[in-house]
Structure 1
Amino acid sequence: MAGPVIDVRATGAPEEQWESWRQRCAPLRLAPVPRLVVVAAHPDDEVLGAGGLIAMVRAAGIAVTLVTVTDGEASHPKSPTHSPSRLAELRIGESCRAASELGAEAPIRLGMPDGDIASHEDWLEDELGALLSGFPEPGTVCAATWRHDGHPDHEAVGRAAAAACAATDTELLEYPVWMWQWAAPGHSRILRCAPEVLALPPTAHAAKCRALAHFRSQVLPLSDDPADAPILPAHVLRRFTGPAETYFR
C-alpha cells in the first residue's frame, strides 16, 4: 500500500481538530460550468468524497458524468460468504442507486482490477483523456480521488486524472477519502496542498446521506465472520456525513 497504512479500526484525529482546520480553509468557489466529471477508484468513493457537490451541481441543472474505475470486488478479500464477483455485483448496484439519489446517471464503469490500478495507470490516463476531450462544451471540471490519499488505487486514479486534466486543459479538484483515517491537519502532505471547503446546503447534505445509505455492503457486516466486517464502520462513515466537503486544487 502506498503511503500510511489504513486501519479502519483506528479513530483518527479528533473531529474537533478537523473542524478547526476546515474553518481556516478557503471556501470552494467554482465558476459556472457546463459539466462535472467525478472519477472514483471504487464504487462509493464518488459519494463519500463528492456526493454533496454532485447533488448541488445536478440541482442546478448541470450535467454530471460519474466514472468508477474498478467494480470494488476486492473490498473483502478474505470473505467466506461473498466471492469477488458477488461483491462487484453488489457494489455496482449500490453505486447506481446512490447516483440516482443524487440526480445523476449510473456511473461509467471501466472495469479495472481492484487493488492494481497502478499497473494500468497509463491506460487509465488515456481513457480519462479521451473522455474529457470528448465533451463539446469547454469548461468541464473533473473531481478525482486525491493523489496522496494513502490508498494505492486512490493515488493512481489521482495521478492519472491529474495528467489527463493537464493534457485537456480541464480544471481538476481532488477529494480525500482515507486521509481522515491516517492524517492530522498538520501532516506534511496536507501542508503542501491548498484545501478548499464546500459548505453543503441542507438539501444536498440530505441527498448525500441518503446516497451513502445505499452502500450496505460497505457500511454493514456481510456476516458475523470477522473477514466480513464493515469497511466503513460508523466512526469512519461519520467523517463523510457532515455538512461540508474538502477538496484540493
Structure 2
Amino acid sequence: MAGPVIDVQAAGLPDEQWDAWRQRCAPLPLSAWPRLVVVAAHPDDEVLGAGGLIVTARAAGIAVTIVTVTDGEASHPESATHGPARLAELRIEEARSAASELGADAPIRLGLPDGGVASHEDRLRVRLRALLGDIGEPGAVCAATWRHDGHPDHETVGRAAAAACAATNTELLEYPVWMWQWAAPDHPRLREQDPAVLSLSPAAHAAKCRALAHFRSQFLPLSDDPADAPILPAHVLRRFTGPTETFFR
C-alpha cells in the first residue's frame, strides 16, 4: 500500500496546493499514437483518472480500448439492498454508458474479483500481455491505475500493466485515483515519479463530466442505510472534474 487506509470522508489537501504542483509538471503530449489501451481496476477508474485522455485521443482519431479488471461488485460490501450481483450489473452498465459518452467502445471485462485482484496478479499479467500482444501496434500506449495508488486492486493492476508493457514494448502511463485523498506534493512517492499533466479542451472536459455522471451507484446513496453511502462523495468527486488529468511516465 502506498499510504494510509483511504478515508473518503477526509477533506484531503486543498485543491490550490495540488494546482500549484500541477503547474510545475510537464505537459503530456499526444503523439501519433495508433492506439490507447486504458486499464481500470474497477468500472469508473478509467473515467475518473483518464476520461479526458480517452475523449481527447478519440477526437484525434486514436483508437481506444478500455479494459475493466473487475466488475466492481464489492463497492458496498455491507449493503442489505444491493448484493454483489446487482452491484456488478449496475456498474457494468454504467461503464458502458460512460464509454459511449467518451466515444469509445464498451470495456473489455476481465471479471477478476473486486477486492481480490492481488491473488490473481500472475493471471492478470498474462491476460494484459496477451491483449497488448494481440494489438501488436508499434507505438501503442497503455494507461493503468498507479502502482502506488493506495488501493490493493489499483496497485496490482499497475504492477501487472507495467510488466505487460515491458514484455510487449508498450509505453506505460499510470494515473492516480485515490492518491489525491492521502498524498501531498512532497510525499516521497511523488518525488520518485515523472508526472505529466494533460490539459483538457472545453469539449473534452464536458464529455468527461457527462461520463462521470453515469456512475450514479458510486456518487449517490443506494438507500438511506449508512452501508449504502456514496463511495465518491461530492468533495472526492470534485477532484476529478477539473480541467486537467495527471499521469506518471
Q: Following the alignment from structure 2 to structure 1, what is the Cα–Cα distance between the partners of residues 162 and 49?
A: 17
Aligned partner letter, 1:144: A
Q: CA deviation at 1:153?
A: 0.2
- Alignment match, 1:106: 106
Deviation at residue 81 of structure 1 after TM alignment: 0.5
CA deviation string 1:109-158 (max 9, x = no partner) = 00000001011001000000000011143111000000000000000000
TM-score of the two chains, using structure 1 as the length reference: 0.99
Instruction: Tell me if structure 2 keeps the 8 A contact 1:2–1:152.
Output: no
- Stretches of structure 1 lacking an aligned partner (at least 5 in a row): none
The Cα offsets for residues 176-221 of structure 1, whole Å up to 9 and x where unpaired, read as 0000001111111111101110000000000000000000000100
Give CA deviations for 1:218-245 in whole Å, capped at 9, x if unaligned.
Answer: 0100001111000000000000000000
Task: For 2:17 and 2:2, locate their aligned partners in 1 and report how far apart those are by CA, in whole Å.
Answer: 25
| Structure-2 residue corresponding to 1:146 | 146
How far apart, CA to CA, are the structure 2 residues paired with 1:230 and 1:33? 36
Tell me which residue corresponds to 1:188.
188
Q: Report SS of the residue matched to 2:142.
A: strand
Cα distance in 1 for residues equivalent to 2:77 and 2:137: 42
Paired with 2:184 and 2:11, the residues of 1 have a C-alpha distance of 11
Aligned runs of 1:119-158 on 2, under 5 Å? 119-158=119-158
2:69 corresponds to: 69
**2:176 aligns to what?**
176
Q: SS of 1:134's equivalent?
A: helix
Aligned equivalent of 2:164: 164
Identity of aligned residues (%): 79
Match of 1:230?
230
Amino acid at match of 1:33: W
Residues 94, 215 of structure 1: 8 Å contact kept? yes
Q: Deviations over 1:5-38 (max 9, x none)?
A: 1000001011010000000111112321110000
Aligned twin of 1:59: 59
RMSD: 0.8
Is the Cα–Cα contact under 8 Å of residues 3 and 183 in structure 2 kept in the other structure? no
State the alpha-carbon separation in 1 of the partners of residues 56 and 230 from structure 2.
28
Find the aligned partners of 2:79 and 2:136 in 1 and give their Cα distance: 44
Q: What is the match of residue 25 of structure 2?
A: 25
* Alpha-carbon distance in structure 1 between the residues aligned to 2:156 and 2:202: 33
Q: Distance in 2 between matches of 1:142 and 1:4?
A: 27
Question: Structure 2: how far apart are the matches of 1:24 and 1:146?
Answer: 20
Letter in 2 for 1:79: S
Aligned residues: 249
Task: With the length of structure 2 as denominator, give the TM-score of the two structures.
Answer: 0.99
Counterpart CA distance in 1 for 2:2 and 2:194 is 22
* Equivalence for 2:97: 97
One-letter amino acid of the structure 1 residue matched with residue 24 of structure 2: R
Separation in structure 2 between the aligned mates of residue 2 and residue 28 of structure 1, nearest angstrom:
24
